[in-house]
Chain A
Amino acid sequence: MRLASGGVIDRTKILNFRFDGKTYQGFAGDTLASALLANDVKLVGRSFKYHRPRGVLSAGSEEPNALVELRAGAHREPNTRATVAELYEGLEARSQNRFPSLKFDFLAVNGLLAPVFAAGFYYKTFMWPASFWEKLYEPMIRRAAGLGRNAGLPDPDVYEKSIAFCDVLVIGGGAAGRAAAAEACRAGGRVILADENAPGADIEGVVYLPRSTVFGVYDGGTYGAVERLADHLPAAKGPRQRFWKIVAKRCILASGAIERPMVFGNNDLPGVMLAGAVEKYIFGYAVSPGRNGVIFLNNDDAASLIPILNGSGINLAGIVDSRPKSSPLVREAALEASTPLFAGSVIRQALGGLSVAGVEITTSRGQNIKLDCDFVAMSGGWNPAVHLTSHLDGKPVWDEKIAAFVPGALPPGMEVVGAAAGLGINANIVPLWSVKNAGAKAFVDFQNDVTAADIRLAKQEGFAAVEHLKRYTTLGMATDQGKTANVNGLALMAEATGKTVPETGTTRFRPPYTPVAIGALAGPHRGKNFKPTRRTPTHDWAAGLGAVFVETGLWLRAQYFPQSGEDWLAAASREVNAVRNGVGICDVTTLGKIDIQGPDAARFLESVYTNSWVNLPVGRARYGLMLREDGFVMDDGTTARLADNHYVMTTTTANAAKVFQHLEFCHQWLWPELDVCFCSVTDQWAQIAVAGPRARDTLAKLVDAPFDISNAAFPYMAAGALSICGGTPARLFRLSFSGDLAYEVAVPARYGAALARALMEAGAEFGITPYGTEALGVMRIEKGHPAGAELNGQTTAHDLGLAKLLSKKKDFVGRALATREALTDPARPTLIGLKLVNAGDRLRAGAHLLPQNVPAVAANDQGFVTSVAFSPTLGQWIGLGLLQNGPARLGEIVRVYDPVRNGDTLAEVVSPVFVDPEGVRLHA
Chain B
Amino acid sequence: MRIKCPYCGERGLEEFLYHGDATVARPRDGGVVATEEWTDYVYLRENPNGTHRELWYHGAGCHAWLVVTRDLRSHEIFGVEAARDVALAR
Q: CB within 8 Å of B: which residues of A? A: 163, 218-222, 245, 247, 392, 412, 629-631, 657, 660-661, 664-665, 667-670, 672-673, 810-812, 815-817, 819-820
Contacts and interface: CB of A to CB of B under 8 A. Distances in A.
B70 to A, nearest CB: 10
B42 interface: yes
B69 to A, nearest CB: 15
Given A669-B83, A816-B31, A219 B1 contact: yes
10 contacts: A220-B2, A221-B2, A629-B41, A665-B19, A665-B57, A670-B87, A812-B31, A817-B31, A817-B39, A819-B34
B75 A668 contact: no
B12 A222 contact: yes
A219 B38 contact: no
Contact of A661 (B39, B59, B82, B84): B59
Interface in B38-69: 38-39, 41-43, 55, 57, 59, 63-65
Nearest to B58: A664
Chain B interface residue bracket vs A: 20 to 34
B42 A817 contact: yes
Nearest to A814: B31
Contact of A247 (B2, B42, B65, B84): B2
A816 B35 CA distance: 8
Given A668-B87, A817-B42, 18 more contacts: A163-B12, A218-B1, A222-B1, A222-B2, A392-B74, A661-B17, A661-B57, A661-B59, A661-B63, A664-B63, A668-B65, A669-B65, A669-B87, A670-B26, A672-B87, A812-B31, A817-B34, A817-B38
A627 B5 CA distance: 29
Contacts of A816: 27, 31-35, 38
Contacts of A820: 34
Contacts of B55: 665, 669
Q: Which 7 A-B pairs have the closest CB atoms?
A: A816-B31, A220-B2, A219-B1, A672-B87, A811-B30, A815-B31, A668-B84
A630 B38 CA distance: 9
A219 B2 contact: yes
Contacts of B64: 664, 668
A873 B19 CA distance: 46
Contacts of B75: 219-220
B34 A672 contact: no
B31 A811 contact: yes
Contacts of B87: 668-670, 672
Nearest to A808: B32
Contact of A630 (B33, B42, B63, B74): B42
Contacts of B42: 629-630, 817
Contacts of B31: 811-812, 815-817
Nearest to B33: A819
Contacts of A811: 30-31
A664 B65 contact: yes
B42 to A, nearest CB: 5
A163 B15 CA distance: 14
Contacts of A673: 88
A787 B71 CA distance: 42
Nearest to B64: A668
A811 B38 CA distance: 13
Contacts of A670: 26, 87
Contacts of A819: 32-34
B85 to A, nearest CB: 8
Nearest to A812: B31
Nearest to B55: A669
A748 to B, nearest CB: 23
A404 B18 CA distance: 41
A669 B31 CA distance: 17
Contacts of A220: 1-2, 13, 75, 77
A317 B17 CA distance: 65
A346 to B, nearest CB: 45
B90 to A, nearest CB: 9
Contacts of B30: 810-811, 815
A654 B43 CA distance: 25
A869 to B, nearest CB: 35
A823 to B, nearest CB: 9
Contacts of B27: 816
B71 to A, nearest CB: 11
Nearest to B26: A670
A862 B57 CA distance: 40
B22 to A, nearest CB: 8
A661 B72 CA distance: 25
A248 to B, nearest CB: 11
Nearest to B28: A811
B86 to A, nearest CB: 8
B60 to A, nearest CB: 11
A608 to B, nearest CB: 13
Nearest to B87: A672
A166 to B, nearest CB: 14
Contact of B84 (A657, A672, A817): A672
A657 B27 CA distance: 26
Nearest to B59: A661
A810 B88 CA distance: 22
A509 B84 CA distance: 41
